[in-house]
Every structure is written in structure tokens, then in C-alpha cells.
A and B are shown apart, each in its own frame.
Chain A
Amino acid sequence: MAAYGAVLSVSKIIHPFWGGRLGNTVKVFGTTLTSRRNKTLLTRENIPPPAKYGGRHTVTLIPGDGIGPELLSHVREVFRFSCVPVDFEVVHVNSALETEDDINNAITAIRRNGVALKGNIETKHTMSPSVKSRNNLLRTSLDLYANVMHCQSLPGVQTRHKNIDIMIIRENTEGEYSNLEHESVSGVVESLKIITRNNSLRVADYAFRLAREKGRRRVTAVHKANIMKLGDGLFLQCCREVASGYPDITFDSMIVDNTTMQLVSKPQQFDVMVMPNLYGNVVSNVCAGLVGGPGLVPGANYGHVYAVFETATRNTGKSIADKNIANPTAMLLASCMMLDHLKLYDYASLIRNAVLTTMNETRLHTADIGGQGTTSEVVQSIMRIIQSKGQLTSEL
């Protein structure tokens, strides 16, 4: 963060003095670093990092704990097989250590590459409270302010509710997850929930822009402003302000308890939902449960400059680790979202279609959706489908 801030200021100093004379030098110096990033901030376009020589992208890969490593090795396998021009820079984060060096390395790697794919890093309850959640540190340091989760009923999966298509945009950096707690009086703990105008406007703007891009008709803000009048009241007010600038999209609001009740009775009524951090956590898990479970839904965390992709419900899955029964769908769909972000659309739809075709075959369902298939069988099937499409692939 500091480094590129310094570069920005250097270029500002250079311009007035040497602008004309050093023209070429500034262009060379400034272009690749400052102007692209400046443009990103100003126009808020998320430009993917430039492909290196050879047209191959480098993406940071954080295996995490539990089922993370095995699922990510499958992702690498599928990518290698489909000849996707992405190289992974693997960074390990040891959740058992108390120092923050590992996670700082990971953050630097993501700053370098701009895009990352990660498994969930475990947060042990037994460690001291000063050990912050590594996932949370990642999100706040990189300012990944919007967590987007798209819950869709998949045709091959049997669920109690059908035709669900909900997009959940959750504020990712503040709210209840500020990690600000203190015990002034022994036996009395105060946790601070922070809501700021800037962050609320930012995430509301993201939600409405996304709704417009995807052609969605309605945005619902989820809140508890009858109780937390100032906090959620501010969030709601910011959403309303932003909504006034998007007259083609209907905006309404719903209290979180009513929302969860409506979600379990009639989830088809929801289109796009935007909310602060904790409600987002609960609502996204409810929706994931409605469409078939944590193994099916991918999630993405977007900031102005960086993007990190992971499974939506961020489960570590320690109890099913290394047993070859984890569902790889969520992680593979997350990698497709990453390919979309890098503008490699063909590869993204190729892999996505293969995953969805495999999903239709009940024989290959893993244990979490009620079948008996193994992870490797599912991945093999996906690779076979990719091969059958006739694209250039490696040997199976």
C-alpha cells in the first residue's frame, strides 16, 4: 500500500517539473505503475493485471487448511490439462504460527500478482485473542470491500427449493468483523461494530453497478435498523442515496430476521441483496444451504485493485480433509470466476460447462449432495468432457 502511494507522489512531483522535457522517461516510468492504477481508481474499472511475456498470467495460490490443498491441486490439474495460460505462485500460510510473517508474504504476493485463489485458513479458538483471523487480515489489508456470491439452483442437484437465483453482495471489511473488542471491566466485554459512510456508499455503489451490468431488476438491502438505528440506519441511508442514481432498478429494504424467514419459505422473491458484514455471513450461508450446500457455490472478493476467489461459505472442512470425498465444484467454479476476471472467457466457459454437465450426472455426486462419488472421479469426468469438446488438451 505504502509503496505504490510513494510512487504516485513521485510521479506527481516529476510531472510539473520535467513534464515536457522528461516526457519519454515519465511515460516509461509512470505508465506501467501509476497511470494504470490511477485509472483504476478514477474510473473504477477493474483491469486485470497485464499478462506477462508469453501471454501467461500469474496468480497467487494460497492452499489454506483442511480440504483447501487437495481442491487446489485439482484446480491446477484441470488448468494444466486444459492448457489454461495461468501459472500459480503457491504461498503457504501456517495457521498454527502466531507471527504474521506468513500472511504478510501472502499479501505481498497478491499485491504483486493482483489476483489470487485461496482455500480457507483455519482460525484456532485455542490461540490467544490477539491472533487475528488470517482470512480477515487478508481482506482488510487488500481492501477487498465487496464479497459477491451468486446462488443459483443447479439443474442436476435435488433441493427443496427450485429456481433460486440470488446475488448476495456483502460488505467485506468493516461491520462486526472489525476485531475491536475490549474488556474494560472484568466480565463485561464490549465489541465494536463499525459502520462508515464511505464503505457503505462504496459497497452500495458496487451492488447497483453489478445489478445494472447483469440486467437485474431489484436490489434489497438487509439491515436491523429498528434496533441499531445509527449504525444500520447509516447503511440504509447510503443505500438509498445510491439507489436514487439508478432509477431503472427497484430498491427496497428488509429487516434481517424477516429476510431469513422469507428465505426459507419463498427464496424466489429475492434478486440482488446488499448488506453489512455479519448479516451477509448468515444470509449467504442460508442461501448456500438452499441451493445444495457449501460444496457448490463459489465466492469472489473484489477490491478496486485486487481480487481474491474462494469458496463462498469459506469452510475449512477439516473433518473431510484428505479423504477424497470433498466436493470440488465450488473451488472449480471459483477458478472459472477468476478466469472471467482475467478476461479469459473461453477457458472459463469451457471449464464451467464441463463442471455443470458433470453435476447433472447423479452417479458422480459427492457425499455432501447425497451421492457416493469421490473427488477424483468428478475431476476425471470434468477433464474427459473438456477433452471431448475438441480443444487442445494435454494427455489425460
Chain B
Amino acid sequence: MTARSVRSLSGALKPLFSHRLLKVYGAATCQRHKSSYTPPPAQYGGRHTVTLIPGDGIGPELAKHVRELFRFCCVPVDFEIVTVDSTMESEDDIDNAIMAIRRNGVALKGNIETNHNLPPSYKSRNNLLRTSLDLYANVMHCQSLPGVRTRHRNIDIMIIRENTEGEYSSLEHENVPGVVECLKIITRPKSLRIADYAFRTAREKGRRRVTAVHKANIMKLGDGLFLECCKEVASGYPEITFDSMIVDNTTMQLVSRPQQFDVMVMPNLYGNVVSNVCAGLVGGPGLVPGANYGVDYALFETGTRNTGKSIANRNIANPTAMLLASCLLLDHLKLHAYAQMIRRAILSTVTETRLHTADLGGKGSTSEVVQSIMNAVQSTGPYTLSI
């Protein structure tokens, strides 16, 4: 909310005042909606502040490892930690978190658990975050990692999933007892927005093909509208091939021949299923990072949003996904050198089978993996703290 009011204020100021004043005031905010994104300004000393939400399950321990690694590599990022208690019914915690993210512009989070036993009026905290901050695009890049043995090889799929509407509108009612109606909302502006994001990202990364995943033979109006919006946007990107596929055929193709897919764009629920299938294909939930982008904010987390309650605090969780998510965060803050350094260290650690954690079929522990990553970083020569 604050960002928008600042924008309108600067919009009001522009015609009145001269350029000099506006440059100082307006620079940090006006440039947010240009296509060349400028990260939030670094505070005095060139250090960024990032909101950190530990979450539940394996979230806190993985977030701790991220902080440890960042401190070790002397990354100029300070974390502002905001805890969200998932057992409380009041929304104060999550409102604080949202305000902190609005303040800092960027966040890293673990998954916040949604307890089934609480009443249905209790909304999913993760969902609240995404909709309040209008993080409309969830991007997940599934790549086969060289050190991980999987049934399929050479997978390189980018999944762009609409993150704010669709089946996750949390609009349900029971007019007649025993009959529940859930509303799935598809709107034109949001579908155009996500399609545009998908094609822009495809163009930036040099991708050749975008596939829209839908079920328009059954949900003719809803997914039909989504498909139509994708087609409209596709006409503005002639160098990129656009095709569409029904979700059931897509999932079947994914388990037989995933190499045929390049970039995929889809509404919320299909995105959930397809991204989990792809995460399973490349090696599991411990390997893939995810990013949620909005116009003004960005939120980074593991791709499949698992809480991991059963493996919490046992030092067996795979830190790769969270660490790669933190590299995506560094890329977003335009600290590319640090991002590359950490990413290279992570990938070299993942190739070592001895250090694979339980989810990849090995016996390593989380701390061993993180130690090895820090060793790899130190050996590449940049300025680090002592281990």
C-alpha cells in the first residue's frame, strides 16, 4: 500500500516541482515499474536489508544455514527476522511480516504450516502473503543437476504459475448443507499479466517455446479465457513458438518424455501439480528453488513449499533448495558475483555423492553439506571469514 501511495504522490509532484527535487525523491520509487528493474536501494554502507521469515518445520534450520553461509562469504545482506506463529488465529503476525516485506522489498521465507484442525475461516498464511503483496508470478526452474542420478536426464523446464487467483481464491460456501461450492476465479487482467511475464522471461532467457497448460475442453469459459489471453500475448512475440496442452496430457508427457518442454505457463492449481511433478523428476523437493515475483516485491522460497515437519531438527534436511533460493535472491539484488560464487559451490557439492542427504539416497547431514559448500567457497579465493 505504501509503495502505491508514494507512487501517486510522486505522480502528483512531477508536474509541480522541478526535476532536481524529483530525482532525489522519486528515483527510488518511480523506477520500480520500468521494465529494467532496480532493486531497493542499499542502505548506508551498501548493505541490503532482506526480510527473513523462518516458518515451520525445516524452515528455521535452513534459514539459519543461509545466514551462516552469507556471513561466511561476507555477502552485504542483513536479515530482518520476522517470526510468524502458525498456531495463532489472529492475523497480526502475518500482517507484521507483510509490512516488513513492504519496507524491505525482498524476502526469503520458509513454509508456514496450515493446520487442518483450525476452522476454515483461518486462511493459509502463505496464500495471504502472496495475495496481499500481489506476487503474481511463481517461477520455478527445474534443471537436471549433474551430480544427481534421476530416471530422466537433460530436463530444463521453466514453470511460470499464476500465483494469486484461480483455485486458490479461498472463496467457498455451503448454501445447502452437504453441498459445497468452491469458486475458481480467472480474470482477464491477471491472465494477460502472467502471460506477458512468461513471454518476457522466455525472451530474456533466450527460450524458444512457451506451452500453456489448461483444461479448456471442460472449463470452457475459465481456462478458455486464460488460453485466449496467452494467445493474444503470444502474437506480440513472433520469435517464440506458442502451443497449448491439456493438463492431463501434459502430466503424462512429463513422466514419459519431459525433455520436450521448454517454458510452461499455467493457472494456479495446474501449476501446483506440474511444478511438483517436475521437482520429482529432477530429484525431489530438496533441490529446486522457487521465486515469487510481483511488480514491487519479490519473495524467495523452496520450489515445492514443503514444511518438512517429519524431518525437522534432525539435521537431515537438504539445504540445496533454500541455498539456491538465496542465490536467486542475490541475483535479484543484482549481487551477481556473490550469487555465482555460492551457486558454483553448491553445484560442486551436489556432484559429490558422499555428501548427498537422505532424500537423494545418501547419508550426509545438513551441516556436512553446508561445511562443504563453505570449503568450496573458500577455496575459490574471495574474501571470506575463517571457517
Residues of A within 8 A of B (CB): 123, 125, 129, 133, 136, 160-161, 176-177, 179, 181-183, 186-198, 224-231, 233-234, 256-258, 260-265, 278, 281-282, 284-286, 288-290, 293-294, 313, 315
Quick check: which of B23-31, B72-80, B217-225 contacts chain A, the rest being far away?
Answer: B217-225
- Give the docked Cα–Cα distance between A11 and B251 (Å): 50
In the complex, chain B residues whose CB is within 8 Å of the CB of A190: 183-185, 222
In the complex, chain B residues whose CB is within 8 Å of the CB of A227: 114, 124, 127, 167-168, 170
Give the residues from 250 to 275 in chain B that come closer than 8 angstroms, CB to CB, to chain A: 251-256, 269, 272-273, 275
4 further contact pairs, Cβ within 8 A, besides A129-B220, A234-B180, A285-B252:
A176-B215, A190-B183, A193-B182, A257-B276
**CB atoms of B172 and A260 under 8 A apart:** no
Quick check: which of B4-12, B186-194, B312-320 contacts chain A, the rest being far away?
Answer: B186-194
**CB atoms of B188 and A261 under 8 A apart:** no
- Give the docked Cα–Cα distance between A260 and B275 (Å): 9
**CB atoms of A286 and B252 under 8 A apart:** yes
| A280, closest chain B residue (CB) | B248
Task: Select B167's contact among A136, A193, A293, beta carbons within 8 Å.
Answer: A193
With A196-B180, A285-B249 as contacts: A133 and B218 at CB distance below 8 Å? yes
Residues of B within 8 A of A (CB): 114, 116, 120, 124, 127, 151-152, 167-168, 170, 172-174, 177-189, 215-222, 224-225, 227, 247-249, 251-256, 269, 272-273, 275-277, 279-281, 284-285, 304, 306
In the complex, chain A residues whose CB is within 8 Å of the CB of B219: 176, 181, 191
**CB atoms of B181 and A194 under 8 A apart:** yes
In the complex, chain A residues whose CB is within 8 Å of the CB of B285: 261
CB distance from A76 to the nearest CB of B (A): 28
- Give the docked Cα–Cα distance between A230 and B179 (Å): 10
**CB atoms of A289 and B272 under 8 A apart:** no
**CB atoms of B273 and A195 under 8 A apart:** no
- Give the docked Cα–Cα distance between A191 and B189 (Å): 17
With A187-B188, A194-B179, A260-B277 as contacts: A230 and B174 at CB distance below 8 Å? yes
| A127, closest chain B residue (CB) | B220
In the complex, chain A residues whose CB is within 8 Å of the CB of B174: 230
- Give the docked Cα–Cα distance between A203 and B152 (Å): 35
- Give the docked Cα–Cα distance between A110 and B183 (Å): 34
Number of A-B contacts (CB under 8 A): 176
In the complex, chain A residues whose CB is within 8 Å of the CB of B269: 224, 278
**Chain B binding surface, main DSSP class:** mixed
- Give the docked Cα–Cα distance between A290 and B120 (Å): 36
| B181, closest chain A residue (CB) | A192
- Give the docked Cα–Cα distance between A179 and B285 (Å): 34
In the complex, chain A residues whose CB is within 8 Å of the CB of B253: 289
- Give the docked Cα–Cα distance between A129 and B306 (Å): 38
In the complex, chain A residues whose CB is within 8 Å of the CB of B284: 261, 265
CB distance from A119 to the nearest CB of B (A): 16
In the complex, chain A residues whose CB is within 8 Å of the CB of B248: 281-282, 284-285, 313
**CB atoms of B124 and A226 under 8 A apart:** yes
CB distance from A326 to the nearest CB of B (A): 16
| B151, closest chain A residue (CB) | A160
Pull 27 A–B residue pairs with CB atoms less than 8 Å apart, ordered by A: A129-B221, A129-B224, A133-B218, A160-B151, A188-B188, A190-B183, A192-B183, A193-B182, A194-B179, A195-B182, A196-B179, A225-B116, A230-B120, A233-B120, A258-B306, A260-B251, A261-B279, A261-B285, A261-B304, A264-B281, A282-B248, A282-B251, A285-B252, A286-B255, A289-B253, A313-B248, A313-B252
**CB atoms of A288 and B252 under 8 A apart:** yes
CB distance from B343 to the nearest CB of A (A): 24
In the complex, chain B residues whose CB is within 8 Å of the CB of A133: 217-218
Task: Select B182's contact among A160, A186, A230, beta carbons within 8 Å.
Answer: A230
- Give the docked Cα–Cα distance between A261 and B281 (Å): 8
| A128, closest chain B residue (CB) | B220
- Give the docked Cα–Cα distance between A225 and B114 (Å): 10
With A125-B216, A133-B217 as contacts: A176 and B184 at CB distance below 8 Å? yes
- Give the docked Cα–Cα distance between A177 and B248 (Å): 14
| A201, closest chain B residue (CB) | B178
- Give the docked Cα–Cα distance between A289 and B249 (Å): 9
Most buried by A among B127, B188, B248: B248
In the complex, chain B residues whose CB is within 8 Å of the CB of A257: 272-273, 275-276, 304
**CB atoms of B252 and A289 under 8 A apart:** yes
In the complex, chain B residues whose CB is within 8 Å of the CB of A290: 255
Task: Select A256's contact among B173, B188, B215, B272, beta carbons within 8 Å.
Answer: B272
With A261-B279, A282-B247 as contacts: A189 and B185 at CB distance below 8 Å? yes
In the complex, chain A residues whose CB is within 8 Å of the CB of B177: 197
With A182-B221, A191-B222, A225-B116 as contacts: A264 and B181 at CB distance below 8 Å? no
**CB atoms of A261 and B251 under 8 A apart:** no
**CB atoms of A260 and B276 under 8 A apart:** yes
**CB atoms of A264 and B255 under 8 A apart:** yes
In the complex, chain A residues whose CB is within 8 Å of the CB of B189: 187
Most buried by B among A229, A285, A290, A294: A229
In the complex, chain A residues whose CB is within 8 Å of the CB of B222: 181, 189-191
**CB atoms of B280 and A264 under 8 A apart:** yes
CB distance from B34 to the nearest CB of A (A): 26
In the complex, chain B residues whose CB is within 8 Å of the CB of A286: 251-252, 254-255, 277
Most buried by A among B167, B179, B255: B255
In the complex, chain B residues whose CB is within 8 Å of the CB of A183: 221
- Give the docked Cα–Cα distance between A129 and B120 (Å): 33
CB distance from B292 to the nearest CB of A (A): 16
Task: Select A293's contact among B152, B183, B252, B280, beta carbons within 8 Å.
Answer: B252
In the complex, chain A residues whose CB is within 8 Å of the CB of B170: 227, 229
**CB atoms of A231 and B114 under 8 A apart:** no
Task: Select B215's contact among A230, A233, A264, A278, beta carbons within 8 Å.
Answer: A278
- Give the docked Cα–Cα distance between A282 and B251 (Å): 7
With A264-B255, A278-B215 as contacts: A189 and B249 at CB distance below 8 Å? no
| B282, closest chain A residue (CB) | A264
- Give the docked Cα–Cα distance between A234 and B116 (Å): 12
CB distance from A295 to the nearest CB of B (A): 11
**CB atoms of A193 and B252 under 8 A apart:** no
In the complex, chain B residues whose CB is within 8 Å of the CB of A191: 183-186, 219, 221-222
**CB atoms of A285 and B184 under 8 A apart:** no
CB distance from A45 to the nearest CB of B (A): 26
**CB atoms of B221 and A181 under 8 A apart:** yes
With A231-B172, A261-B280 as contacts: A176 and B218 at CB distance below 8 Å? yes
- Give the docked Cα–Cα distance between A31 and B30 (Å): 81
- Give the docked Cα–Cα distance between A229 and B170 (Å): 8
The 7 A-B pairs with the shortest beta carbon distances in the complex, nearest first, are A197-B178, A187-B188, A264-B280, A289-B255, A261-B280, A229-B120, A289-B252
CB distance from A134 to the nearest CB of B (A): 11
| B186, closest chain A residue (CB) | A189
In the complex, chain B residues whose CB is within 8 Å of the CB of A160: 151-152
CB distance from B239 to the nearest CB of A (A): 25
